[in-house]
């Protein structure tokens, strides 16, 4: 059961990238389940892993090592735009008092050429806090969250194919 009171939370997951990463995918802030598991998109109903696997014609990863391999083998980098915030449970709409992540750790080590954000909250926070620092526009992709029920899995995969451009 998610806590229904807004509380200050600190991002517990380090960025996932290598010196070969060229495409940065940024979410907003980890869900309660992802914070507890200490890894991205841990909620079984989040369609992130299924979508990225489909985009790169790879098997859906079943464990942490396979998830890391999927990201790194495809020259991707993965993190979030928010380092800490007040949030109620996992609700992006409840996010307040944002402290942005420091993306320079990725940009200093990897030849990032494109930035994508997973959903509108990540896009809004990126534009406000990250764009002035990176100077790199981000492409907003539809959220893979189960809260984005308007998008079917097939529609998500089609939209997320932009990762391959």
Whole-Å CA distances, 127 to 32, 50, 100, 122: 24, 27, 11, 9
Q: Which residues contact 142 (CB under 8 A, 6 or more apart)?
A: 119, 148, 151, 155, 156, 159, 160
Residue range 7-156, CATH number: 3.40.470.10
pLDDT of residue 1: 44
DSSP SS3 for 12: coil
Dist CA 91 CA 28 (whole Å) = 10
Size (the chain), residues? 165
Q: What is the pTM (predicted TM-score) of this model?
A: 0.94
Residue 10 has pLDDT above 50, yes or no: yes
Residue 58 has pLDDT above 80, yes or no: yes
Taking only the tens place, the pLDDT of each residue in 61-114 is 999 999 999 999 999 999 999 999 888 877 777 788 899 999 999 999 999 999
Span 107-135, average pLDDT: 97
Instruction: Enumerate the domain spans of the chain.
Output: 7-156
Give the pLDDT band (50/70/90) at residue 4. Answer: low
Among residues of the chain, what percentage have pLDDT more than 90?
A: 83
Dihedral (CA of 8, 128, 82, 141) sign: positive
Q: Which is higher by pLDDT, 41 or 88?
A: 41
Dist CA 165 CA 161 (whole Å) = 7
Taking only the tens place, the pLDDT of each residue in 144-158 is 999 899 999 999 999
Q: In which residue are the tokens 């109903």 written?
A: 45
Residue 132 has pLDDT above 70, yes or no: yes
E strands, the chain, are 7-10, 23-27, 76-80, 82-87, 96-100, 114-118, 138-141
Q: What are phi and psi of 160, to 5 degrees?
A: -75, -5
């Amino acid at each position: 059961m998610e806590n229904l009171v807004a509380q200050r939370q600190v991002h517990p997951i380090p960025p996932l990238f290598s010196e070969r990463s060229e495409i940065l995918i940024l979410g907003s802030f980890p869900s309660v389940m992802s914070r507890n598991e200490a890894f991205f998109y841990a909620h079984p109903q989040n369609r992130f892993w299924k979508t990225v696997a489909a985009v790169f014609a790879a098997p859906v990863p079943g464990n942490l090592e396979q998830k890391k391999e999927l990201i790194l083998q495809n020259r991707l980098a993965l993190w979030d735009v928010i380092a800490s915030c007040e949030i109620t449970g996992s609700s992006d709409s409840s996010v307040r008092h944002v402290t942005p992540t420091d993306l320079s750790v990725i940009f200093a080590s990897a030849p990032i050429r494109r930035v994508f954000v997973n959903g509108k909250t990540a896009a809004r926070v990126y534009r406000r806090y990250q764009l002035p620092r990176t100077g790199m526009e981000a492409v907003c992709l539809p959220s893979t969250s189960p809260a984005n029920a308007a998008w079917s899995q097939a529609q998500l995969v089609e939209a997320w194919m932009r990762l391959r451009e």
